[in-house]
Amino acid sequence: MPLLPLRPIGNSNLYMSGDVTIHDDAAIAPGVILRADPDSRIIISAGVCIGMGSILHAKEGTLEVETGATLGAGVLFIGKGKIGANACVGSASTILNSDLVPEQVVCPGSLLGDTSRQLERRGTQKMPAQEEDQSQSEQQAVREATNQELLPDKVDSAVTDSADNSANNASPTEPPKPEPSPSAAVTVYGQANLSRLLGTLFPHNETYKRPTQE
pLDDT tens figures, 61-76: 999 999 999 999 999 9
Predicted TM-score (pTM) of the model is 0.52
Q: What is the spatial distance between Cα 30 and Cα 148, in angstroms, rounded to a whole number?
A: 85
pLDDT at position 214 is: 47
Amino acid identity of residue 106, one-letter, is V
Q: 109 pLDDT exceeds 80?
A: yes
Burial of 12 (0-12, 13-18, 19+ CB in 10 A): exposed
Cβ-proximal residues to 86 (8 Å cutoff; 6+ apart), any chain:
67, 68, 69, 102, 103
Q: Given this model, what pLDDT does residue 112 score?
A: 92
Q: Residue 208 pLDDT more than 60?
A: no
Domains in the chain, CATH or no CATH each: 15-109 (2.160.10.10), 187-214 (no CATH)
Higher pLDDT, 170 or 21: 21
What is the helix (H) or strand (E) element at residue 194, kind and residue range?
A: helix 191-201
User: Residues 20-37: what's their mean pLDDT?
Assistant: 94
